[in-house]
Amino acid sequence: MTKIIGMLVVAAVTLGVACHTDLGVESRQFECQGDNDCLSGWTCSSENLCVRQGSVEVDAGDTRDAEDVATDTAPLLDAEPSDTAQDAADATVDAAEDAADTSNPCEGVHCDGTQVCDPETGACVDPPECVVNSDCSGSGEQCVTDAEGVAFCCAAIGVPENQCDPICQTGCDVGEACRASYDESTYEFEGWVCKPAGDGLQGEPCGGVQDCAAGFTCGSGATPQGECQEICRMDIDNWCSTGTCNDTFLHDTVGSCGEQVN
């Protein structure tokens, strides 16, 4: 009897320990093919392991989400400096260039004699003859600009906007001369137009106006051969240094300097 009682005591102790520890199933993984293979309150997971019902099923082998996050983040670590930083750098360069553009080209330039510094190029040049009309003192003179942009005083005759001035030789491009234009049938004077310039000067022979330089025309001289003559204004006395101002163009005001031909 005593032996039977002892065996019952050992069994009770063993069952008590088992109930307390739950046989360590929480720390063990039991394989299963279905829920019937698991204890009550447990279920068979997709990994064919028994897990307690209500617990989160963890796939120890599925690390793809973490890897994807790492992969998506990696390009950010290697990214170039932000556009904002680049824009700031570009703005600094642009500001420096603008400051250089607004600098004074004549700063530190010292010209000799009567020359002055050109504010556009910084080069030493001869001062212009005039800046405004009041700088000109000759009879009928105005301050005009030639094809190269040089200002000078000239007794301009005043011509329509679409014509050039034969006295000042303004209104034409470099290499051109202001010539008289005539009607081909009646030979009546029509106006002043730009034509290619020659190189003949006062008294040099010419076969036509194309042989004479700008400011000169081909007129009749003391000899049968034509000669280049300076264009002049007949209404201003003592214009010509050689000869007199003759009515060459059938124009009220403009003539050419040469010998008087009857």
DSSP the chain: -HHHHHHHHHHHHHHHHHHHHGGGGGG---B-SSGGGS-TTEEE-TTSBEEETTSPP--TT--HHHHHHHHHHHHHHTPPPPHHHHHHHHHHHHHHHHHHHTS-TTTT----TT-EE-TTT--EEPPPS-SSGGG--STT-EEEE-TTS-EEEE------TTS-BTTTTBSS-TTEEEEEEE-TTT--EEEEEEEE---B-TT-B-SSGGGBPTTEEEE--SSSS-EEEEEEETTSTT--SSSEEE--SS-SSEEEEE----
Does residue 65 lie in a domain region?
Answer: no
C-alpha count within 13 angstroms, C-beta hemisphere, residue 101: 6
**pLDDT given at position 112:** 86
Does residue 126 lie in a domain region?
Answer: no
Does residue 32 lie in a domain region?
Answer: yes
Quick one: how far is CA 212 from the chain centroid?
A: 43
Contact assessment for residue 255 and residue 248, using Cβ atoms and an 8 Å cutoff: yes
**pLDDT given at position 222:** 62
Q: Which residue among 21, 37, 52 closes a domain?
A: 52
- Please report, in angstroms and rounded to a whole number, the separation of the first and last CA atoms in the chain: 178
Does residue 231 lie in a domain region?
Answer: yes
The stretches in the chain having pLDDT less than 50 are: 1-23, 58-63, 65-66, 69, 73, 76-77, 79
Rounded-to-integer distance, Cα 173 and Cα 22, Å: 111
**pLDDT given at position 126:** 85
**pLDDT given at position 71:** 54
Contact assessment for residue 214 and residue 200, using Cβ atoms and an 8 Å cutoff: no
Q: Which residue among 12, 37, 52 closes a domain?
A: 52
Q: Which pair of tokens denotes residue 50?
A: 């028994």
Contact assessment for residue 188 and residue 225, using Cβ atoms and an 8 Å cutoff: no
Q: Which residue among 35, 52, 69 closes a domain?
A: 52
Closest CA to 196 of 177, 181, 215, 213: 177
Which residues partner with 142 through β-bridges? 154
The number of distinct structural domains making up the chain is: 2
**pLDDT given at position 68:** 52
Does residue 114 lie in a domain region?
Answer: no
Range of the domain at 249: 158-258
**pLDDT given at position 27:** 53
Does residue 173 lie in a domain region?
Answer: yes
Residue-wise pLDDT for 66-93, tens only, equals: 455 455 545 544 545 556 677 776 777 6
Does residue 41 lie in a domain region?
Answer: yes
Contact assessment for residue 194 and residue 209, using Cβ atoms and an 8 Å cutoff: no
**pLDDT given at position 55:** 62
